[in-house]
Chain A
Amino acid sequence: MRGTRFFALVSIVALGLAGCTKAAPPSPAAPTPGLAGMYSDPPATAFDTFCFFACTDVGLERLRTLLDDPGNDARPYSELSGEAVAYQTSEYVRPRLSEAALAAAPLDPLQDPGYLNCEPWGFVRQVFAPHQLEITQYADRVELHYGEWDARRTVYLDRRAAPERQPHTPLGYSVGHYEGDTLVVETSLVTANIAGNFTWDGRHSDQLTAVERYRRPSPERLELTAALADPWVLREPVEFKKVWSFAPDQEIGPYDSCQPAAARSAQETTQ
């Protein structure tokens, strides 16, 4: 931690010297925001439930309009949230998809490698995966441990660029830094994969990049805003949000009982 703070202090001083004829006095390094802990499903409120996987400002605003309309009081929440999701998709997500992306959709969910072969999800689905997310902060890195698939990511804080010949991987290569109370994570080198079900129905290319911003506005709440860009699939970056609740009593259990589709069929045939 001391080394990192020293590095930050040196950087601030160096930037100040480069940008000003008269250097400003160095300010003390900002404290690292306390993001560490176990989080899980969002609070059981109308808006947070809408962001169980991924939501957008457009979708949230639509949901707010629907909920505020007394004419909708008798309609079930599931119907209203479904309408807001459809609006979000048609008005925000779909217009940002390229022709190539639209041509490649829809995907057949029964051909999903996760369902067929128990193949763990790639970056986009994993970032918006439901349930547990455990964050561990170190001086030089942050570890993200997901309940879904028992997946782990490392975010390098020392601004290392990806090593030369770093291969593409399903979860990519992530570097990060703190901006005030926010952890900013930049990810690239992600293997081409399925993007849906939580963001857009279709695929993304190996040119996908992402900027995730994690902040904890209260001890009980973790929020993510993630901007995704992909020249193959997106005309412009799309921004999705997600919410978790602090859940210190949760544990991430082993993810060892996935049944490939073929195994399910075999089991059912023998019954």
Chain B
Amino acid sequence: MTPKHFLPYVAAMLAVGVLAPAAAHHSFAAVYDGSRTLTLDGKITQFHFVNPHALATVDVTDEKGGVQQWTVEFDGRLNLTNWGWSESTIAVGEHVKISGAPERTGAQRIFFAKLVRADGSELLRPASNRLNSVEEERRQRALQRTAPTDQK
């Protein structure tokens, strides 16, 4: 778990930071495995819209009918409010499919990436919205770059 090399560690921290700004409160990469995605299918039992990280608990029913409680860690209220989230964005009792990066220790805890509601509507991580905007800017930039060539 301890980083072995100076440069990759800093680069990874900051690169992940760009992807996961609000995970800055603690090191996302040290706690969660960003290379893996786990999807939970269950019912929201709690949603706390707090700092430094919003938290939800989800009851997931396994094949044998047993109920497992999972914790979902979100970006903090500080960041989520930037993208219009509020206490009522996720409702207790809602049935959802919720995806995220699992904790490295194997604990029943993920860091939120995407939520799909029963009606099929999706809720994405604020970092995803930011990256979508940036990629659109790059597409426009590429178009502008090629435009003069097309006119020749």
Number of interface residues of A (CB under 8 A): 61
User: Is B78 touching A131 in the complex (CB atoms < 8 A)?
Assistant: yes
User: Is B78 touching A132 in the complex (CB atoms < 8 A)?
Assistant: yes
- Asked if B61 is an interface residue, CB under 8 A from chain A, the answer is no
Nearest B-chain residue to A267, judged by Cβ: B71
- Asked if B48 is an interface residue, CB under 8 A from chain A, the answer is yes
What are 24 A-B interface contacts by the 8 Å CB criterion?
A40-B78, A41-B130, A44-B133, A67-B138, A76-B131, A77-B134, A81-B18, A85-B10, A85-B18, A86-B7, A130-B21, A130-B79, A147-B78, A150-B51, A196-B13, A197-B13, A247-B82, A253-B78, A256-B51, A257-B50, A268-B103, A268-B108, A271-B68, A271-B71
- The answer for the CA separation of A32 and B51 in the assembled complex, in Å, is 34
**Residues in chain B within 8 A of chain A (CB atoms):** 1-3, 5-15, 17-19, 21-22, 24-27, 29-31, 48, 50-53, 55, 68-71, 76-79, 81-82, 103, 105, 107-109, 129-131, 133-135, 137-138, 141-142, 145-146
User: Is A82 touching B18 in the complex (CB atoms < 8 A)?
Assistant: yes
Chain B interface, >50% SS class: helix
User: Is A52 touching B17 in the complex (CB atoms < 8 A)?
Assistant: yes
Binary interface encoding of chain A residues 130-174 relative to chain B, with 1 for a CB under 8 A from any of its CBs, else 0: 111000000000000001111000000000000000000000000
User: Is B48 touching A268 in the complex (CB atoms < 8 A)?
Assistant: no
- The answer for the CA separation of A259 and B141 in the assembled complex, in Å, is 43
Nearest B-chain residue to A132, judged by Cβ: B78
Nearest B-chain residue to A52, judged by Cβ: B21
- The answer for the CA separation of A40 and B81 in the assembled complex, in Å, is 10
- Asked if A237 is an interface residue, CB under 8 A from chain B, the answer is no
13 new A-B pairs (CB below 8 Å) besides A85-B18, A131-B79, A265-B107? A49-B134, A85-B14, A93-B10, A94-B6, A102-B6, A110-B31, A112-B27, A114-B26, A115-B27, A148-B52, A197-B24, A251-B81, A253-B50
* B12 contact set on A, CB distance < 8 A: 82
Nearest B-chain residue to A73, judged by Cβ: B142
Evaluate whether A78 and B52 lie within 8 angstroms (CB atoms) in the complex, with A41-B79, A89-B11, A130-B79 already known: no
- The answer for the CA separation of A197 and B131 in the assembled complex, in Å, is 21
User: Is B141 touching A67 in the complex (CB atoms < 8 A)?
Assistant: yes
- Asked if A214 is an interface residue, CB under 8 A from chain B, the answer is no
User: Is B142 touching A44 in the complex (CB atoms < 8 A)?
Assistant: no
B56 vs chain A, min Cβ distance (A): 13
- Asked if A254 is an interface residue, CB under 8 A from chain B, the answer is yes
- The answer for the CA separation of A265 and B71 in the assembled complex, in Å, is 12
User: Is A45 touching B137 in the complex (CB atoms < 8 A)?
Assistant: yes
User: Is A200 touching B82 in the complex (CB atoms < 8 A)?
Assistant: no
- The answer for the CA separation of A52 and B82 in the assembled complex, in Å, is 14
Evaluate whether A108 and B3 lie within 8 angstroms (CB atoms) in the complex, with A129-B24, A130-B21, A148-B24 already known: yes
User: Is A73 touching B17 in the complex (CB atoms < 8 A)?
Assistant: no
B25 vs chain A, min Cβ distance (A): 7
- The answer for the CA separation of A70 and B27 in the assembled complex, in Å, is 33
